[in-house]
Chains A and B, each alone.
Chain A
């Protein structure tokens, strides 16, 4: 018996270690191709310098809803593989099935009936672009007026635009032949225009050709959001250029930037399947970029590592294991399994912390800057509290709550990342590290503690009514845990709300403005105060307090996400359509739990 226990615990830790190694190893690229080098090259996008890897991942995430794609044989490929092909050999890439289309009517529109696939290639969509455009035109501007079909249309339109914008950031579209041919033509025309007699036929032709090129490159410059050409030596650190701008510059100055020609070489080598030449081009590009990209690109290498390691993904895997172990601990081997869960939680917390620290380092901002990072922070902040509670009782409850919360919030974060790069630049109003470092984390800590109280209450009600009941001692312990969490929640949500008021007064001259997000935080404060008063006055039973704590979940979810869905106020960053459904589902589930507490009296 004793030894079986040891084997089980050892197996669990071995599993955790195996998962860690699997996640830590860099993704496997096709043999001989140094795609990792390409992935770590820095470019500027959204005001920030980031590795191409991030561009690849966020683009594929927005188009396909995941960071990898499957080929026709079912083999899985990393985002960087797709991206490299897209930018260096777009014709071939158009056969990759990356566009996710869920709506059956839309699948029908591109000519498939009863199709099981969810992913389609550009080559399959392109023949229907004409009829798609007609349909796109009829999608209403305001997203709440759209039908589900129109939403699918809008999403596909966004994906197609993004695909187009991403494809031509390193080499120009094949309007005048491939990149090498285009650049050869540009150079010849530039030579002709410079040398010949201005009245000669050649010169006139050259001028016409220049005009043609200018028009084409202006269009390219206008549609690009990625600046992939680093500043030339002696230029300002900020002076990154898009491909289109770089080509326009070349027409003016008469010489092509070596960065451009090196990318063209890479493209040729890639198309020809010539791995050694491709790797050589990557080496020369790396030289050029490291010479020219300066201080702002110092963190790209680390960001590339952060992307491939994806610490939050690993934490998520651990949270699942922890929850299962903790739940098993309620059936037998209680202390051993609870201790295993505790140690795993400690590891998960360390990795989670690393991930958050990495984001702080890359962005040079406090931990919470948008909804995505608040999701990561909410569970992170609750875990130390859970570790403390768990260490006192070793009953698996706090570990289970922490694991549930960690998993749920990381899933939420994952879904929030569909909208693009999560390390975005701060809008001017929010550009204050001091307040971002005080008000925002404190309020978010208030969310954490309120959720924690609600989660423990959730576990209590489920166990008390459905799984074997709770004895007096356990009831007392759980009740004490909820009480502690609510006290914490009240303190932090109050202080956080007040700090928000002070920020508002310092910046806008008014302490309180009834802004939706402020109101949400105030509701949390009031509700926690209500729970504490109800407990002190002994007007509610233990079950009653638990039910009140679950209402706290609803209020916090409203405050966290619901207020952003209103689309009004200072804090309305990011309106989310589909999230409304999930918020509603969450609220209903919580009401069901509360009802469960009424319907089924606690088992004796």
Chain B
């Protein structure tokens, strides 16, 4: 039994199957990007053990071919199996010899690469930062995640923030509490993506009244409708919730919160902050893009958008940035431009976009603690490939010499 399993896991046919399966997986994982965007597709194909590909409706004959599904092993099945297969095959077949000197390097590098990719997928976080010229910020915001925050703003210089990841609100009826808060948060309604708008006049009872009595939702008589989540690149889900705060004496009120209200991207009509008083202290409640605070303020001094003469073809985008470190009167200036990101505090800031007539700049900010692994892994593999290549060339030439 054990030996049968060992034979199976060490077999070259398994290797061939896994390699072919990877090619197929990557192919369909590329195709689906057109429809679902890169973020969702990446999760679906490379971060699951099994995947089912559906024939896209938009393709030729989509209506009649909708039944066509194609199941295949996903990244989380292929990756570990490849590592297992490699390890077993190594112990079963590999006998050290000069002729195969490159092989362990090649395979060792591949294993390291796979492990590194897994670690990256688990650890990598992506944020963004919009700054107008002259503006500064001490935080970056997540591309995909949201947080519910309650901020004690009584003392503006020492604000205290309590935050929950928005995924904690997923179950309607959940109650959240924190020791530093004198009240609990009840989730009445939650939508991963929602459409929010003021109640259209003459819409009658078409949209139900929201049970909201405080803040923006009450003041503007808003309507909130759940929407299917979007996965398109560059689009963001308008995560929204209705929450009721309650202290030991009873409810304080019900608020509509949404990341739509709290955008720091270029926006014409920002909503007012939702602020309230309780027991002599002031609080702000918000559902916002998840923030990561930096140990410094980043200031945008100048943004430049150069074009080739006589054309609109961009030739360079660059942002002149000043970093004000906390607790230090010194600041340092740096230029972020194409292919030259800023690396700071474990984050990489690179020039990603611009707006408002070239007066606003956007940085994509990536945190990837595993970024050094692929370098080592691929160096090892490349050395292995070269060694193997040269050694076989040498032996080949030797054989030719002896035959002639």
Given contacts A530-B20, A539-B12, contact A514 B309 (CB under 8 A): no
Query: Is the beta-carbon distance between B308 and A519 smaller than 8 angstroms?
Result: no
Q: Are B338 and A432 in contact (CB-based, < 8 A)?
A: yes
Q: Decide yes or no whether B57 CB sits under 8 A from chain A.
A: no
Q: Which residues of B contact A505 (CB under 8 A)?
A: 371, 374
Contacts of B314 in A (CB 8 A): 427-428
Chain A 492-515 per-residue mask, 1 if CB under 8 angstroms from chain B, else 0: 001100100111011111111111
CA distance A514 to B366 in the complex (A): 16
A431 touches B315 (CB 8 A): yes
Are A519 and B13 in touch, CB under 8 angstroms? no
Is there an interface contact between A427 and B385, defined as CB atoms closer than 8 Å? no
Give the nearest-CB partner of B351 in chain A. A428
B38's partner among A46, A47, A494, A514 (CB-CB below 8 A) is A514
Chain A 30-48 interface 0/1 with B at a Cβ cutoff of 8 Å (1 = within): 0000000000000011111
Residue of B nearest to A144 (CB): B58
A428, A508, A512, A566, most chain B CB atoms within 10 A: A428
Taking a contact as CB atoms under 8 Å apart, the answer to whether A227 and B38 are in contact is no
* CB-nearest residue of chain A to B366: A509
Contact B385–A567 (Cβ < 8 Å): no
Asked if A526 meets B374 with Cβ closer than 8 Å, knowing A46-B313, A47-B310, A487-B389, the reply is: no
A529 contacts partner chain B, Cβ-Cβ < 8 Å: yes
A: contact size bracket: 35 or more
Q: Is the CB of B12 within 8 A of A537?
A: yes
Provide the bound-state CA to CA distance between A487 and B102, in Å.
13
Chain B: minimal CB distance from A115 (Å): 32
With the chains together, A285 CA to B358 CA distance in Å? 39
Is A425 at the interface (CB under 8 A from chain B)?
Answer: yes
Q: Mark B310-341, 1 if CB is under 8 A from A, else 0.
A: 11011111000000000000000000001111
Point out the residues of chain A lying under 8 angstroms from B315, CB to CB.
Answer: 47, 425, 428, 431
Q: In the complex, what distance in Å separates the CA atom of A47 from the CA atom of B307?
A: 8
The answer to whether B308 and A569 touch across the interface, beta carbons within 8 angstroms, is no
Set of chain B residues within 8 Å of A435, measured between Cβ atoms: 339
Selected from A425, A506, A516, the residue in CB contact (under 8 A) with B311 is A425
A47 touches B385 (CB 8 A): no
Q: Interface 1/0s, chain B 49-86, versus A by CB < 8 A?
A: 00000000000000000000000000000000000000
**Interface residues in A261-320 (C-beta closer than 8 Å to B):** none
B12 touches A242 (CB 8 A): no
CA distance A14 to B317 in the complex (A): 54
Name the interface residues of A499-556: CB closer than 8 Å to any CB of B. Answer: 501-503, 505-516, 519-520, 522-523, 526-527, 529-530, 533-534, 536-537, 539, 555
* A183 CB-CB contact with B under 8 Å: no
With both chains docked as a complex, state the minimum distance between the C-beta of B44 and any C-beta of chain A, in angstroms: 11
Establish whether residues A495 and B374, one from each chain, have CB atoms under 8 Å apart when the complex forms: no
Docked-complex contact A46 and B308, CB < 8 angstroms:
yes
Chain A CB within 10 Å — which of B22, B120, B349 has the most? Answer: B22
Of A506, A508, A529, which contacts B364 at CB under 8 A? A508
Cβ-defined contact, A507 with B30, below 8 A: no
Of listed A435, A494, A513, residue having the most chain B CB within 10 A? A494
CB distance from A169 to the nearest CB of B (A): 12
CA distance A569 to B38 in the complex (A): 8
**Which one of B174-182, B269-277, B375-383 is at the interface?**
B375-383
The reply to whether A519 and B338 contact each other, CB–CB distance below 8 Å, is no
CB <8 Å contact, B378 and A510: no
Within 8 A of B (CB), among A226-263: 227, 238-240, 242
**B-side contacts of A432, CB under 8 Å:** 338-339
Q: Tell whether, in the assembled complex, residue B310 and residue A514 are in contact, meaning their CB atoms are under 8 Å apart.
A: no
Contacts of B366 in A (CB 8 A): 508-510
Given contacts A539-B16, A566-B30, contact A491 B389 (CB under 8 A): yes
Q: Give 1 or 0 for each of A551-588: 1 = CB within 8 Å of chain B CB.
A: 00001001000010011110000000000000000000
The answer to whether A512 touches B381 (Cβ under 8 A) is no
What is the distance, in angstroms, from B310's C-beta to the closest C-beta of chain A? Answer: 5
With known contacts A510-B368, A514-B42, A498–B316 Cβ distance under 8 A: no
Least CB distance from A502 to B in Å reads 7
Residue B259 at the A interface, CB < 8 A?
A: no
B23 CB–A CB distance under 8 Å: yes
Closest-by-CB residue of A relative to B24 is A523
B37 to chain A, nearest CB (A): 8
Q: Which A447-478 residues sit within 8 Å CB-CB of chain B?
A: none
Contact, CB under 8 Å: B33 / A516: yes
State whether A533 and B308 are in contact (beta carbons under 8 Å apart), knowing that A509-B350, A514-B29, A516-B33 are contacts in the complex.
Answer: no
> Do B341 and A555 touch across chains, with their CB atoms under 8 A apart?
no
Q: What's the minimum C-beta distance from A235 to chain B, rounded to whole angstroms?
A: 12
> Judging by beta carbons under 8 Å apart, are B38 and A44 in contact?
no
Determine whether B348 belongs to the interface, using a CB cutoff of 8 Å to chain A. Answer: yes
Does any Cβ of A come within 8 Å of B15's Cβ?
yes
A331 at the interface (CB under 8 A from B): no
> By the criterion CB–CB under 8 Å, are A566 and B382 in contact?
no
Partner of B33, one of A506, A520, A526, A569: A569
A529 touches B19 (CB 8 A): yes
Partner of B12, one of A239, A513, A520, A533: A533
Chain A proximity of B8: nearest CB distance (Å):
15
Is A522 a contact of B316 with CB atoms below 8 Å? no
Contact B33 A568 (CB under 8 A): yes
> B46: CB under 8 A from chain A?
yes
The answer, yes or no, to whether B124 is at the interface (CB within 8 Å) is yes
Q: A428 contacts which chain B residues (CB < 8 A)?
A: 314-317, 338
- Using Cβ atoms and an 8 Å threshold, which residues of chain B touch A511? 120, 368, 371, 374
Contact present for B27 and A523 (CB under 8 Å): yes
A593 proximal to B (CB < 8 A): no
A429 at the interface (CB under 8 A from B): yes
Tell whether A47 pairs with B368 under 8 Å between CB atoms, given A509-B348, A533-B19: no
Instruction: Report whether B338 and A512 are in contact in the complex, using a CB–CB cutoff of 8 Å.
Output: no
A225 interface hit (Cβ, 8 Å): yes
Check if B34 is an interface residue, CB within 8 A of chain A. yes
- Which residues of A sit under 8 angstroms from B247, Cβ to Cβ? none
Instruction: Give min CB distance, A372 to chain B, whole Å.
Output: 17
Residue of B nearest to A516 (CB): B30
Q: Is the CB of B120 within 8 A of A509?
A: no
B106 nearest CB across to chain A (Å) = 9
A490 sits at the interface (CB 8 A): yes
Partner pick for B29 among A429, A519, A526, CB 8 A cutoff: A519
B16–A491 CB distance below 8 A: no
Min CB–CB distance B368 → chain A (angstroms): 6
Q: Nearest Cβ in chain A — how far from B205, in angstroms?
A: 39
Which residue, of A240, A494, A505, A511, has the highest number of chain B Cβ atoms within 10 A? Answer: A511
Most A-side CB within 10 Å, residue of B42, B310, B311, B350 = B310
Contact of B375 among A47, A425, A502 (CB under 8 A): A502
Q: Which residue of A lies closest to B311 (CB)?
A: A47
> When the two chains form the complex, which single residue of B26, B310, B378, B386 contacts A242, counting CB atoms closer than 8 Å?
B310
Is B117 an interface position by the 8 A CB rule?
yes
A526/B313 in contact, CB under 8 A: no
> For residue A44, which residues in chain B have a CB less than 8 angstroms away from its CB?
309-310
Which residues of the other chain, A, contact B375 by a CB distance below 8 angstroms? 502
C-alpha gap A530/B34 in the complex (Å): 28
The 7 closest A-B pairs by CB, nearest first: A47-B308, A509-B348, A509-B366, A537-B12, A530-B19, A498-B378, A428-B314
Beyond A495-B382, A506-B339, A513-B38, 16 additional pairs, beta carbon < 8 A: A47-B310, A425-B315, A428-B314, A428-B338, A494-B381, A495-B385, A498-B374, A509-B371, A510-B124, A511-B120, A512-B120, A514-B30, A514-B41, A514-B46, A527-B23, A568-B33
List 13 A-B pairs, Cβ < 8 Å: A45-B310, A47-B308, A47-B313, A425-B308, A429-B339, A431-B339, A498-B382, A507-B341, A508-B364, A511-B371, A519-B29, A522-B26, A537-B16
